[in-house]
Each structure stands twice: as structure tokens, then as C-alpha cells.
């Protein structure tokens, strides 16, 4: 249980740190710097992952009901 919690917390901290770094897109010299993460692509992949997990969950529930 601790391992799973640690993995989830580590992933959240990593994504949060990248988001904070990207939200300060202007450098100290006033020149815009490149973002670390392409958030549009990350969002699309997250939604695809959620849809896949939802489909698999429904499949597992259907299998459980069939038995």
C-alpha cells in the first residue's frame, strides 16, 4: 500500500513541478522560453488513458456479472 501511494505521490509531484515550471514561461530577461511539456498532447493522452481504463473496467464488470 505504501509503495502504491509513493508512486502516485511521486507522479503527482513530477507533473505538478513541470506545470509550475511551464506556467512561468517568461524568462528573467523577458524572453519567452520553451515549455517542458506539450500540455495539449498530455491532455489528449490522459483522456485516451481514462477512456481505456473505463472500457477495461466495464469489461471486468461484465465478466464478473456473467459468472
Per-residue pLDDT of 8-64, as tens digits, reads 999 999 999 998 888 876 566 666 677 778 888 989 999 999 999 999 999 999 888
pLDDT of residue 64: 83
Residues 41/44/50/51 CA torsion (nearest 10 deg): -140
* Domain match, 2 and 30 both: yes
* Domain match, 32 and 1 both: yes
C-alpha cell at 42: 498530455
- Rounded to an integer, what distance in angstroms lies between the CA atom of residue 30 and that of residue 24? 11
* Domain match, 10 and 22 both: yes
* Domain match, 18 and 32 both: yes
Residue 5 reports pLDDT greater than 90: yes
Amino acid at each position: 500500500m505504501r509503495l502504491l501511494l509513493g508512486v502516485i505521490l511521486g507522479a503527482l509531484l513530477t507533473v505538478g513541478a513541470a506545470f509550475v515550471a511551464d506556467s512561468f514561461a517568461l524568462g528573467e530577461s523577458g524572453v519567452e522560453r520553451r515549455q517542458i511539456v506539450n500540455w495539449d498532447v498530455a491532455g489528449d493522452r490522459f483522456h485516451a488513458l481514462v477512456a481505456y481504463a473505463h472500457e477495461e473496467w466495464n469489461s471486468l464488470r461484465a465478466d464478473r456479472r456473467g459468472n
